[in-house]
Structure 1
Amino acid sequence: MAKEKKKNELIEWIKAIFVAILLALFLRSFIFATSIVEGESMEPTLEDGERVIFNKFIYIINEPARGDIVIIERPFKNYVKRVIGLPGDTIEVKDHTLYVNKKVFNQDFLTEEALNRTGNFGPFEIPEESYFVMGDNRAISKDSRNGLGLIDREDIIGRSEFIIYPFSEWETTR
């Protein structure tokens, strides 16, 4: 009788562990994942080596919004950038000021130094199904202005939600 009870208990534990693993795989595949910030292009918002949790589900039900920090999937590495321009927008940087559709876009997430290091660009109209992204450290960022080009909607795989490592930096990224 005691052997039968232990056997049943072991089977229940195995079932519970199996369900937990399946749930973790589901969440990792379809809802949340992690990404490591590589480089200094998103400083001061995100720093090199920080690990962020990103939400994969959000863009199944919504479209990326201006200001979102997104994960962009490319064949050899993922990029973390901020959405600046949406499909149909016109982007221009003139005298260190960003204009979206001829209106000044407030970039309170940037330092004064980053604002002053943003060179002239555009005007440039963004085609449908494309997004214009920039890093917060404008002087060194590889983004839609140089190198990455426009981002197809299908290449945006999630929105950065939380910094989870290092633990001293735990906070939302939005």
Structure 2
Amino acid sequence: MSNVADKTETKQNSFVELISVIVQALLLALVIRTLLFQPFSIPSGSMRPTLLEGDYLFVSKFAYGYSNASIPFSPDLFSGRIWSDNPERGDVAVFKHPTSNVDYIKRVIGLPGDRIQVRDGQLFINGDAVPRELVGALDDVDVTEQNRPVDVYEETLPNGVKYTTLDLSPQTSGDNTREFTVPEGHYFMMGDNRDNSNDSRFGVGFVPLENFVGRANIVFFSIAGGASPLEIWRWPTELRLDRFFKSASK
């Protein structure tokens, strides 16, 4: 009888240890996701050609400090940010939409107090044109979503940050805007796919600092064709190996 009891107790202890390991692993994952890095998948084409649907990237949660937006499910625990650091012009950042609370990813273009305007497709910051150079035409439907060549421009922000944008059409509603003055504590965000981005020119509006989730750092996985990473049988044809470990902001 004692041997049976000992075996039963051993099994029970092993089960308790297994549960303990699982709980500890989940808690560790929660801490890492909340305080350090959060995986994020690109939901739309608004950041093409920099980021594509099917890109999976890490978002640095500590880059701007912590707010309710940084915590899973955004519980209303406190106001403002803890250990706050300001986003820099040119950062690609994940933030909560000011009204819908949905995660968005765009590029920081305007800082508090800036005046932002687009005229004939040219970006102006505080009345000065942002240098914009045509670098070629891209004919790759996986990148542009267009079955034709699309003009690609390189912009250089006042702080020297360079990135490329798509120009799908020379005359769209986003190519000529009013002048926006960014309020204190807010930021003006734009997608690199300038003619196909719902950003601060339109429904997003100015983004409060406390809505920032984190800064996009690096693409760690990418798959084309609308495939799920779990569809391993599609990897040979759909994986974008050239995008693995690519910067998420260039």
Specify the TM-score bucket, using the shorter chain as the normaliser. 0.7 to 0.9
CA gap of 1:79–1:121, structure 2 versus 1, over 3 A, is: same
- Which of 90, 97, 101 lines up with 2:115 in the alignment? 90
CA gap of 1:101–1:153, structure 2 versus 1, over 3 A, is: same
Aligned partner of 2:184 in structure 1 is 128
Aligned partner of 1:109 in structure 2 is 163
- After alignment, is 136-145 or 115-124 more displaced? 115-124
Q: Give the SS at the match of 1:109.
A: strand
Q: Which amino acid is the alignment partner of residue 71 of structure 1?
A: V
Superposed, which structure 2 residues align to 1:24-103 within 5 Å?
A: 24-60=29-65, 61-74=84-97, 75=100, 77-103=102-128
TM-score norm. by structure 1 comes to: 0.83
- After alignment, is 124-133 or 105-114 more displaced? 105-114
Report deviation, 1:161. 0.4
Query: Any stretches of 5+ residues in structure 1 without a counterpart?
Result: 1-5
Aligned partner of 2:78 in structure 1 is none
CA gap of 1:88–1:115, structure 2 versus 1, over 3 A, is: farther
Aligned partner of 1:23 in structure 2 is 28
Asked if structure 1 preserves the Cα contact closer than 8 Å seen for 2:167 and 2:194, the reply is no
Q: For 1:17 and 1:26, how far apart are their aligned partners in 2?
A: 14
- 1:29-66 per-residue CA deviation (whole Å, 9 max, x = no partner) reads 11110111111110000001211110110101421111
Superposed, which structure 2 residues align to 1:134-173 within 5 Å?
A: 134-166=190-222, 168=241, 169-170=243-244, 171-173=246-248
Asked if structure 1 preserves the Cα contact closer than 8 Å seen for 2:165 and 2:194, the reply is no
Q: For 2:192 and 2:169, how far apart are their aligned partners in 1?
A: 9
Q: Which amino acid is the alignment partner of residue 81 of structure 1?
A: K
CA gap of 1:56–1:114, structure 2 versus 1, over 3 A, is: farther
- 1:124-173 per-residue CA deviation (whole Å, 9 max, x = no partner) reads 21110111101110111000011111111111110100111227212111
Asked if structure 1 preserves the Cα contact closer than 8 Å seen for 2:110 and 2:116, the reply is yes
Q: For 1:141 and 1:127, how far apart are their aligned partners in 2?
A: 22
Asked if structure 2 preserves the Cα contact closer than 8 Å seen for 1:161 and 1:172, the reply is yes
Report deviation, 1:18. 6.0
Query: Any stretches of 5+ residues in structure 2 without a counterpart?
Result: 1-9, 66-83, 132-154, 156-161, 223-238
CA gap of 1:152–1:114, structure 2 versus 1, over 3 A, is: farther
Report deviation, 1:122. 2.4
Q: For 1:76 and 1:36, how far apart are their aligned partners in 2?
A: 17
Q: For 2:208 and 2:101, how far apart are their aligned partners in 1?
A: 16
- After alignment, is 58-67 or 111-120 more displaced? 111-120
Q: Which amino acid is the alignment partner of residue 39 of structure 2?
A: T
The percent identity for this pair of structures is: 36
Report deviation, 1:23. 3.0
CA gap of 1:57–1:41, structure 2 versus 1, over 3 A, is: same
- After alignment, is 155-164 or 75-84 more displaced? 75-84
